[in-house]
Amino acid sequence: MVSDLDLTVKSGVDVGGSMLPHPYVIKQVRKETDDTFTLMLEQRSGGPKLTFAPGQFNMVYVFGIGEIPISISGDSASSVLVHTTRAVGTVTRVMARLRRGDMLGIRGPFGTPWPVQEGRGRDVVIIAGGIGLAPLRSALYEVLSQRDAFGKVVLLYGTRTPSDILFREELEQWRARFDLEVHVTVDRAQPDWRGNVGVVTTLIHKSPFDPQKTTSMICGPEIMMRFAAQELQKRGVDPDSIYLSLERNMKCGTGLCGHCQFGPYFVCKDGPVFRYSRIKDLLVKREI
Amino acid sequence: METLERILAEHPFFKDLSEPYLQLVTGCASNVRFDQDSFIFREGEEANQFYLLRQGRVALQVFAPDRGPITVETLEEGDILGWSWLIPPYNWHFDARALELTRAIALDGQCLRRKCEQDHNLGYELLKRFAHIMEQRLSSTRLQIVDMYGVRS
């Protein structure tokens, strides 16, 4: 039998490192909303802890069904690997039915991280839309773990309706902090909702940050990211200090297969986190 | 003590408005407060004011008999509420309800309309500012309509 930790083919490609899924066991499943859920995973047989930087993603394999990219939504300092996703396709719908003790294959981590350390000494504005809060939660954990190293920290979060709000308890805890400004808005609400109604971009112009010394991280639907970046620019934030996380058809995770090509870039390798100034013109090209 | 003129002068909406115009606008301004859940205005009523919100949160709502009040947007501190005073037939198109105790500066639209008719430069200055707000709100509304958060499973 071949060990899953020692697979090096004769060509020299280290398939054990990035191409071979490692078995992980589901320790806990948490239902976040009607169609989103969080899986907490631990490596089977206590292998080495997977180290990642906030913003990176793993290729998650549901055995016999398929493999998909999912960003990591947990704390990079924790020994538990956390993924939050929406049950929307063939693989994620099956994944949503998995329970504690079931197994998944994990390859990764892949991709570029959020520029958390670059934000030190500056204001940090995190803008999330819908499920986009998941990969940004990892960045926020890191910022909060070194809170004194940053200026103002602002989280702006928009979803479709109040019932689509992710990480509700944590949002309440964050909102209670004096060193973190949290604003949540929804596109549509029932009469009992007493919070903001309107798209997340409307929160930008009234948020307390210094545009000249702000690093912003945005994740959500691409339309929302485009408009949020434009709104930040209107406030005076440098496009070099705005970062977006893109989603494309990632397959190999290493820039070999070409499925996630985005102009001159491969999103799995050159992204998913990109500096806005680098991809600004590509975002409006329909042919890409 | 903060005077109405100073508050208006410091608000982005009135940024760079000349001193005489600012004094003129201040002459049409007054402090108002609305208790939680009270209506600031209701659909169909005459629109004779606009408001600069200083505290609280206001929901713009439309009422549907089968669904009750539907909030299309909320506004809060620093936002401008209402532009129907500027456009004939000067009636509100939505309800505005205070979601919490709300304090605002009300600007008398009838008074301002008269002054704008007499002085078209003032009219142009105000219209430019409202056009900017309308553009922002239209843009946001378009994004809401797009339903950008994707399909439900």
The CATH number of the domain holding residue B79 is: 2.60.120.10
Q: For residue B29, what pLDDT is reported?
A: 94
Parallel, antiparallel or unpaired: strands A153-159 and A181-186: parallel
Tokens of residue A6, six digits: 């020692």
Q: For residue B1, what pLDDT is reported?
A: 56
Is B150 close to A88, i.e. CB distance below 8 A?
yes
Contact predicate A85/A69, CB 8 Å: no
Closest to B136 in 3D by CA, of A201, A115, A24: A201
Query: Which domains can be identified in chain A, with CATH numbers?
Result: 15-109 (2.40.30.10), 117-245 (3.40.50.80)
Instruction: Give contacts of A 242-281 with B, CB under 8 A.
Output: none
What are the DSSP calls for B103-126, one per residue? Answer: EEEEEEHHHHHHHHHH-HHHHHHH
pLDDT: is A41 or B3 the higher one? A41
Is A198 close to B57, i.e. CB distance below 8 A?
no
pLDDT over 90, % of chain B: 81
Whether pLDDT at B122 is above 90 = yes
Measured in whole angstroms, how far is the alpha carbon of residue B122 from the centre of its chain?
18
Q: Does B69 touch chain A (CB under 8 A)?
A: yes
Q: For residue B146, what pLDDT is reported?
A: 85
Beta-bridge mates of residue B105: B31, B52
Tokens of residue A53, six digits: 């930087």
Q: For residue B151, what pLDDT is reported?
A: 58
Kindly identify which residue of chain B lies nearest to residue A131, measuring between CA atoms.
B149
Whether pLDDT at B19 is above 50 = yes
Q: For residue A287, what pLDDT is reported?
A: 78
Q: What are phi and psi of A41, to 5 degrees?
A: -120, 150
Helix residue ranges, H only, chain A:
90-95, 133-145, 168-175, 222-235, 267-270, 276-283
Kindly identify which residue of chain B lies nearest to residue A202, measuring between CA atoms.
B140
Measured in whole angstroms, how far is the alpha carbon of residue A16 from the centre of its chain?
25
What are the 10-residue block averages of pLDDT along chain A, 288 residues in total?
A: 39 56 94 95 80 94 94 92 94 95 94 94 96 96 96 96 94 95 93 91 92 96 94 95 92 86 90 94 84
* Nearest chain A CA: its distance from B140 CA (Å): 6
Residues of A in contact with B95 (CB under 8 A): none
Provide the greatest CA pair distance for chain B: 59
- Using CA atoms, how far residue A78 sits from A51, A74, A125, in Å, is 9, 8, 24
What's the total number of domains in chain B? Answer: 1
Q: Domain range spanning residue B128?
A: 4-146
Q: Does B74 touch chain A (CB under 8 A)?
A: yes
Is A194 close to B73, i.e. CB distance below 8 A?
no
Map tokens 């998944």 to a residue.
Answer: A104
Q: For residue A152, what pLDDT is reported?
A: 96
Most B CBs within 10 Å: which of A32, A97, A202, as the mutation test of the B interface?
Answer: A202
Structure ipTM over 0.95, yes or no: no
Whether pLDDT at B100 is above 80 = yes
Closest to A40 in 3D by CA, of A50, A19, A20, A26: A26
In a domain, B11, yes or no: yes
